Structure 1
């Protein structure tokens, strides 16, 4: 019977970037709450609806690949998830 030992290790350089990312996420999340306090989300103007539609169209066309037999670079599921993410981001 053969036993295999798996060791996971990291270096300081790999771990040192995590506090920077954590701080950026902290600022982003705090800004979201301040934005919600000052911005009326349900009242979208025509310009905001147009920007929302352009955001969805941009996410869709970014997935197109003209150099392949397949129309999309990613699978259908990935494409749908990207659209859902754009919709959720826009509605938030």
Structure 2
């Protein structure tokens, strides 16, 4: 999940872009920006950094196993070829 303080900071920065003539609505705009950003983030299929790191480790282990199996198959194929000849 994205850091809530990052959303708050982005909402504040968006509100600062509002022209000075409507600065009295700045707090409402900040709240609306924040709510809109949070709603948009909830719609995305995001994972936490921890979940990402766990899956990355799983993928690395799987890749290592596949490479080891590929090497073993190559050895067995070579052994089979030498036995046929």
TM-score by length of 2: 0.34
TM-score by length of 1: 0.32
Query: Which structure has the higher relative contact order (CA within 8 Å, separation 6+)?
Result: 2
Q: Which has the higher helix share?
A: 2
